Amino acid sequence: MTQQTPAQLRAKAEADLKPIGQKRIKLLAQLEALDAELRPVLVQAVRMEVPLRRIYELTGVAPNTARAWRKADDTA
C-alpha cells in the first residue's frame, strides 16, 4: 500500500462527499417546493383548529413550525 499525500486524501474525501452532497441539495430543493405547496393548507388546518399534534402526525411539520407559519401568514 502506498502512502497518500494530504492533498490526495482531501481530494478523495471531496470526491466521496460530492455525490451525496449533490443528492442532498436536490432533495432540499424538492422539500422547499413541497413546503410551498403544504404551507397554505397547513395554515388553514391550524385556523380550523386541527390539533398541532395531529398536523405533525400527518405532515411531519413540528408544532413550532406550524405556529410560526400561521403567525407569519397572519401578519402578511
Q: Are 69 and 39 in contact (CB under 8 A)?
A: yes
pLDDT in tens, the chain (76 residues): 689 999 999 999 999 999 999 999 999 999 999 999 999 999 999 999 999 999 999 999 999 999 999 999 989 7
Give CA 71 to chain center in angstroms. Answer: 20
Interatomic CA distance for residues 11 and 8, integer angstroms: 5
Judge if pTM exceeds 0.85: no
Interatomic CA distance for residues 19 and 50, integer angstroms: 40
